[in-house]
Amino acid sequence: MEGKRIYLSSPTMHGEEQAFIKEAFDTNWVAPLGPNVNAFEKEMADYVKIPYASALSAGTAAIHLALKILGVGQGDIVFAPTLTFSATCNPIVYEKAVPVFIDSEMDTWNMDPIALEKAFEKYPNPKAVIVVHLYGTPAKLDEIMEICAAHQVPLIEDAAESLGSTYKGQYTGTFGKIGIYSFNGNKIITTSGGGMLVAWEEEITKKATFLATQARDPARHYQHSQIGYNYRMSNITAGIGRGQLLHLEEHKARKKEIYRQYKEAFADIAEAALNPLNKEGDANCWLTGMKIDKSCHITPDMVMDALAEYNIETRPVWKPMHLQPVFADCDFITVNGSKAREGDLPSVAQEVFDRGLCLPSDIKNTAEDMELIIRIVRKCFGRM
């Protein structure tokens, strides 16, 4: 039954990207830096209403530099959500620090503030907290920020999935000490690969840019007083980003419409529910997730397999970090304190993983594509 490929979330180009790239070629600005980089930083900062930004090679690089700038080093504790992609947590280990994973709450699938407070009871002096806005849905920022402020610990916002999302009218990525965005190929806008670090303090982004350009000292000769990285965004890549940014609101509106269509289409299926949205925010709905009740005989794999027969791409929900072999020795905190990996009652994050999947959320999906996806999913639940 294989038809045309329907993607989970693929890049959507518009044409302006080519104009910015052509200008870079015409002026021979194909080197790592150039006018597009400077302009993209300003345009992104203006969009999210924050004064300073540093364009980097990846969102992962941005998280790594955020940790470096905050002085995270060997043996330091960093709190991070367990329900996320590994790129959130890998940079903690780059610096030989120790991740401690925090469980999710069911209201948004994001970091549970109660579990975070429990983590502070066990580890009172972490070096930083990283919060993620999963699938574009803002976390419970008021509670999380209040806890971090009470313990005087800086907050890093991993807004890789939530560019364009707001919480109480303010853009995600601008609440913490440092915010990061990703422009990977599957994100709401893309530069093919790339990221951005943003901050309210100029000194932070200046430091990020310095470290990202091999930490070269301001000397005529090549002099380095500290270790640097090749993390800067290229002028060509930034040109793609500038063209994409012009269409961010359009992309967001389409993603939200896809979520609305799914919600309406599956409203009568009591055994399944879409990923919950934060009522205090406006999610970009980057990916639409579905969680199937654990009492239901239908599993996420059954739905994904049914869609795969029609060449329709889906994905499981992120596998929690505390269940990943590479992090097997790391602590995991729930509302009840520390918790065993498996064999115990499942955590919220594990339940979402066990019973969740991500539905096709590509903004190029046609009305016919959406109709086909919806029909197949409904059939899985015995609804015609």
pLDDT tens, position by position, 192-241: 999 999 999 999 999 999 999 998 988 889 999 999 999 999 999 999 99
Per DSSP, the three-state class of 84 is coil
Say how far apart CA 201 and CA 57 lie, in whole Å.
21
Say how far apart CA 107 and CA 116 lie, in whole Å.
15
Is the separation of the CB atoms in 379 and 373 below 8 Å?
no
Task: List, in order, residues 6 or more apart from 208 with CB less than 8 Å away.
Answer: 54, 56, 62, 65, 66, 69, 197, 199
- Listed as ranges, residues in the chain with pLDDT below 50 are 340, 342-343
Is the separation of the CB atoms in 198 and 52 below 8 Å?
yes
Task: List, in order, residues 6 or more apart from 31 with CB less than 8 Å away.
Answer: 234, 235
Q: Is the dihedral of CA 306, 312, 313, 315 positive or negative?
A: negative
Domains, the chain, in order of start with CATH, read 16-245 (3.40.640.10), 249-380 (3.90.1150.10)
Task: List, in order, residues 6 or more apart from 34 with CB less than 8 Å away.
Answer: 24, 235, 238
Task: List, in order, residues 6 or more apart from 80 with CB less than 8 Å away.
Answer: 88, 89, 92, 99, 100, 101, 102, 129, 130, 132, 321
Mean pLDDT, the chain, whole residue set: 96
| Most distant CA pair in the chain, distance | 72
- The 3-class SS string of 183-225 reads CECCCCCCCECCEEEEECCHHHHHHHHHHHECCECCCCCCCEC
The pLDDT value recorded for residue 69 is 98
The pLDDT value recorded for residue 343 is 47
Torsion, CA 87, CA 207, CA 124, CA 174, rounded to 10: -70
Task: List, in order, residues 6 or more apart from 267 with CB less than 8 Å away.
Answer: none
* Residue 282, φ and ψ in degrees, nearest 5: -130, 100
Angle between helices 367-380 and 300-308 (to 10 degrees): 140
Fill in the amino acid letter for 349.
A
pLDDT tens-digit profile of 30-83?
A: 877 899 999 999 999 999 999 999 999 999 999 999 999 999 999 999 999 999
Say how far apart CA 229 and CA 208 lie, in whole Å.
10
The pLDDT value recorded for residue 2 is 65
The pLDDT value recorded for residue 1 is 59
Say how far apart CA 172 and CA 11 lie, in whole Å.
22
Say how far apart CA 117 and CA 373 lie, in whole Å.
41
